[in-house]
Structure 1
């Protein structure tokens, strides 16, 4: 807060000037962080103050703009931006996970931060899980079906999809993935991009749950 002094005759008064938390500089930076123009960011802020903000108060800017888009071109634009943003997020988390794994091995070379919970097959419903699957994998289909029925939030990674979005969508349709859950980010469908090789420990399917800074292998 800055103070501006104003002379009025013999008297001097001070007027407090407060700055809005959403100054043009902050708006520009926030828009840039999400790959948006300042005009798009303003549109997002307007949507947050309307019905969409009431229905989905925690929705990210790209999904908010995407679901409220008025043309197919707009939807594709925001979908592309969201895929890129999600990829960056996952890559950052996995990069930190690799650093954590190395740090653990340095300090505790005879212990492993990844545990196999074969004695506890029932996973809490509110626990978000990462699931690595392949096409034509009966065990994968059975596991995914069980997790969908349990209601767990899921990040599903299709191994060997070669970045083919058509294959990914076809897999989702074939396995009756609820579109409504996908729209609210309760379920995400992703290309594996080589992540299974690092975290799957040779298992297919592989189900992982986040415990603090570590990924915990879950056997169902």
Structure 2
């Protein structure tokens, strides 16, 4: 697994012929009626009122939108909440939303595993496990973790002591580099090791679903074309 940390932005410029005044009025009318409906529909997906959604949109235009451009609505509103009650409210809503998302992902993972067994019963995408003590200290490992995960924290602490090169993937980071930096600070990741590429910090990008077998944390070692799960 290699880090994909480069982003590009393509701006497309289009030129159209002037529309008649009647056409212009028609377009303006359509936009004025469609936009609120779209916002209301999107807000309802997150369990938010139109007022809350408007505040989220305003926050995106300010400092928070610059610091954390990919932050979801519930986290954005929670981080920028003006009271403890508001913070608790959005935290509860986010936990419920995350639970629903994880349940869907795990259900798909189970369906994926079943499909693999039907189509390739003699092969497995991830082979049998190996123990950490069997792995040389120079062997690079892929580590999948989540924020606010006690088991993940303990696993990372153990792995940092082994000295193995680590490619750490933060699941559910939403491509927010701020969350990667915050996680690294909390876990005291050695900047020198990061500078030498002995440790890399990465957005998961769906890799955990493909390789993690539903485990959290998940530690993998690559041998040839096979990924081996690593246990203590």
Q: Same fold (TM over 0.5)?
A: yes
Q: What are structure 2's unaligned runs of at least 5 residues?
A: 1-18, 173-183, 188-201, 204-211, 221-226
- Confirm or deny that 1:47 pairs with 2:55: no
1:126-178: CA deviations, max 9, x gaps? Answer: xx71478759xx8775137779x95724359xxxxxxxxxxxxxxxxxxx982
CA distance in 2, matches of 1:17, 1:37: 27
Quote the residue 1:107 is aligned against: 119
- Counterpart of 1:143 (choices 152, 159, 162) is 159
Total equivalences in the alignment: 163
Quote the residue 1:178 is aligned against: 186
- Confirm or deny that 1:84 pairs with 2:100: no
Contact 2:141 / 2:219 at 8 angstroms: preserved in 1? no
CA distance in 2, matches of 1:133, 1:14: 59
Quote the residue 1:67 is aligned against: 79
Quote the residue 2:209 is aligned against: none
Q: What are structure 1's unaligned runs of at least 5 residues?
A: 7-12, 157-175, 180-185, 188-195, 210-215
- Give the aligned CA root-mean-square deviation in angstroms: 4.4
CA distance in 1, matches of 2:113, 2:80: 41
TM-score (norm 1): 0.57
When residues 208 and 84 of structure 1 are mapped into structure 2, their CA distance, relative to the original with a 3 A threshold, is farther
Contact 1:62 / 1:81 at 8 angstroms: preserved in 2? yes
Contact 2:140 / 2:166 at 8 angstroms: preserved in 1? no
1:180-206: CA deviations, max 9, x gaps? Answer: xxxxxx99xxxxxxxx9x745xxxx85
CA distance in 1, matches of 2:32, 2:80: 27
